[in-house]
Amino acid sequence: MEIRAAVVEEEGGPFDVQTLELGEPEPDEVLVRVVGAGVCHTDMIVRDQEYPSPLPIVLGHEGSGVVEAVGSSVTAVEPGDRVVMTFDSDDACPHCRDGHPAYCEEFFAYNFGGTRPDGSTPLSRDGEPVHGRFFGQSSFATHAMATERNVVPVDDDVPLELLGPLGCGIQTGAGGVINSLDPQAGSSIVVFGAGSVGLSAVMAADLKGCIDVVSVDLKRNRLEKAAELGATATIDPAEVDDVVAAANEAVDGGVEYALETTGVPEVAEQAVESLSQRGTAGIIGAPPLGTEASYDVNDLIINGRTVTGIVEGDSNPSEFIPDLIELYRQGKFPFDEIVTYYDFDDIEEAVADSESGETIKPVLRVSEP
């Protein structure tokens, strides 16, 4: 079938909306008509080849839509179902079987490889292959080919076009707090970065009952939104001499938890340095491969500090995404307040606004629900 999709042809190139051919579903695949697709920082770092997915490629990994067809072995969904598409996994390795698919042993191949496990791709142009399985979906398109493993059915009482970011950025920030750090009520947390991941973490920290929730960012509009969503204090690094000192001044009794979402190694170092004794820092932000950060080993030892990496909020999406939707229904997780909608053809504007910080979470409206 013919579809329209945003293709990245070369390193740093534009998201060019073109007509492509999409094949039929394989036995384990699910054809989804895309309704909404979130724009995420990961799309840009692959466009810029900081993570080396093959080109040309259709990116997009926060899609929501309606199932149009399923492969012969699919039983979890059927045509007409509303779904959120999330990251892919092999569903077979020890971590997947243990309920931690974000740490799948084949995570990079399944999500950044741009092909099915057998090396094929569902997308083509004039008979030539276009890589089309980014995060098991490539949802910057009118239709996406996902798998039974990475679609999550959702009810019809919430706006379908809103839900795509739950598949990556929102669940990453919220899960980084709820699943990975798991702060106790009355504790303190500093979140470095107030994009969609950082603000989702702020909302989650508020849900968990953190008494001190500090948001750090260079953008005034994002800090203002953080304050609206539960931050008890905000810090603009451009306005203070020492971010670590400012973070500690903003909390009562020292920083027990820190979450780094920017992908800047110096900020990751600040997150660890801000911790009090026995504090834990979660590192989410993704810099280019090979990036290193430095820590004083004795500082970690003497203070009993912990540093942990976090992928996709250590989420099991089939369980966590419905939980976040229920919290949204109850008015406890208002992630719609960080979303701005764009028409699909305006994808370059959405990307530019995301990179400038003008928009926190752009979502492309691709088709009617």
Domains and CATH numbers, the chain: 2-167+334-365 (3.90.180.10), 174-310 (3.40.50.720)
Of 364, 343, 362, 346, the C-alpha closest to 354 is 362
pLDDT at site 139: 98
Residue 278 CB coordination number (10 Å): 11
pLDDT band at 144 (very low <50, low <70, confident <90, very high): very high
pLDDT at 229 exceeding the cut of 90: yes
Q: Strands, DSSP E only, in 79-218? A: 82-85, 123-125, 128-130, 143-147, 151-153, 188-192, 212-216
User: Which amino acid appears at position 301 of this protein?
Assistant: I
pLDDT at site 254: 85
pLDDT at site 147: 96
Q: Name residue, tokens 């609206």.
A: 228
pLDDT band at 46 (very low <50, low <70, confident <90, very high): very high
pLDDT digits (tens, 9 = 90+) for 105-118: 999 999 999 999 99
pLDDT at site 345: 97
pLDDT digits (tens, 9 = 90+) for 198-222: 999 999 999 999 999 999 999 999 9
**Both tokens of residue 259?**
């979450």
Cβ neighbors of 105 (< 8 A, separation 6 or more) are 90, 93, 94, 95
Helices (H), 32-103: 41-47, 94-97
Residue 171 · residue 196 · CB < 8 Å: no
Higher-confidence residue of 80 and 288: namely 80
pLDDT digits (tens, 9 = 90+) for 313-360: 999 999 999 999 999 999 999 999 999 999 999 999 999 999 999 999
pLDDT at site 288: 86
Of 8, 3, 78, the C-alpha closest to 34 is 3
pLDDT at 151 exceeding the cut of 90: yes
pLDDT band at 148 (very low <50, low <70, confident <90, very high): very high
Main-chain phi, psi angles of 333, to 5 degrees: -140, 75
What percent of the chain is predicted at pLDDT more than 90? 95
How far from each other are the two terminal CA atoms of the chain, in whole angstroms? Answer: 20
Q: Which helix (H) or strand (E) holds 24?
A: none
- What secondary structure does DSSP assign to 92-119, as a single string? -SHHHHTT-GGG-TTHHHHHHS-S-TTS
**Both tokens of residue 136?**
């098991």
Of 1, 5, 2, the C-alpha closest to 131 is 5
3-state DSSP assignment of residue 363: strand
pLDDT at 310 exceeding the cut of 90: yes
pLDDT at site 289: 86
pLDDT at 369 exceeding the cut of 90: no
**Both tokens of residue 337?**
């307040």
pLDDT at site 253: 80
Going from the C-alpha of 340 to that of each of 68, 346, 360, 363, the distances in angstroms are 27, 12, 8, 6
User: Which amino acid appears at position 215 of this protein?
Assistant: S
pLDDT at site 252: 81
